[in-house]
Structure 1
Amino acid sequence: MPTSESNASERRVYGGRSAAERGDERRRRLVDAALELFGTKGFSATSIEQLCSAANVSTRSFYEDIGSREKLLIALVEDLTSKATQSALDALAETQGEAMPVRMSRAFRAYLAVTCRDRRSARVCYVEVVGVSQVVEEWRKGWRERIAAVVVYEADSAVERGEAKSREYRLFAVAVIGAVNSLAQELALADESAEAAVTLDDICDEITHLAVAGLTV
């Protein structure tokens, strides 16, 4: 006769996967669905039911695994920006000893190559995430602080190398982040069929010029 312990074990493991593994898979499908729907229809125009249908999960699982559309949006943008930040840090590590403009250009390009890898990700990271709710704005504030710390560190390192003037760089970092956001919005909302369409190269060049000027003037 099965024991309560064996029944609990069966509930935990199904199809060779634990409950935690199945939950992780559902969350991954929901994040993928969010990228597609938030990145094409928009956050406000996407319902929980549409997300669940696209991800092939129940609404009950949605609330258990995610909790709300806002939390799903944060999970998606956190995933993209974390990968982008790591890519930028890798680019900086690979360009140790290079001139500051080279390092800046590589780092910005590495970051934006992830967040702007297609129109969906660019729209999610730079358009749909803005002004959603207080919860999302608190997340964005934390994200800005983390990115600003990286920019300040690189600016201070440039000072030590004699490539930048010695001064307080916190507001500079905030300005750079604002420029990245604004220019990336231009890319996300640009008409791809236009003759003078904005490109990733365009915004990387502009941000690099701005950053280098702010460090040296």
Structure 2
Amino acid sequence: MTDTAISLVVVDDQATVREALAVMLGLAEDVDVVATATNGAEAVEAAREHHPDVVLMDLNMPVLDGVGATERIHRDLPDTTILVLTTFDDDESILAALRAGASGYLTKEADRVTILHAVRTAARGQTVLSPEVQRRLLTLAGSPARTAEPDLSLTAREREILGLIGDGLRNPEIAAKLVISEATVKTHINNLFAKAGFHSRADAVRYALNHQNGRARP
């Protein structure tokens, strides 16, 4: 284990899944599984105790579900990243988790390499969405219609890029879609982050989802 290892809490109500994930991810030299939890309430307690870099969160659990736990951890420990790993990829589950504060969403069809990569990516504060989830979000979007509120004073291009971020596109994909350089995309993103007060790409994704078609959601 290295001094800069990613501290991780694994949350799943199924013992075999939870233990397998803990062992599988704990084998990586740069990951330190500091705790496991069997439900959302235990997850909140473990997060408050260990202040982990990442929480790998299931959704359908007793006592407190993953969305409720995500909301509490995100509120109390904003520096902790929540990465959802679940069997559910329906619209309601995806949107609920992201709105609660999750920075990533994977289905349990993901293999070890994908999950480990997602944990590392999440620890860097970047959004992680499985291809399935990205497709669901694109379907929900229908078109680059998610826009920011007028009082943010974003340019038309910044609004367009914010919508594409909400659709789950990465910088190279945005550059290709808009036929501009990746450096230009980064400049626009830096500008809109500064205007909107976003601290991470996850903030932009959540904002874009909450303002789908320009309508704020509760």
Using CA pairs below 8 Å that are at least 6 residues apart, which structure has the higher relative contact order? 1
Task: Specify the structure having the higher radius of gyration (Cα).
Answer: 1
Is TM > 0.5 for Structure 1 vs Structure 2?
A: no
Which has the larger helix fraction?
1
TM-score by length of 1: 0.29
Which has the larger strand fraction?
2
TM-score by length of 2: 0.29
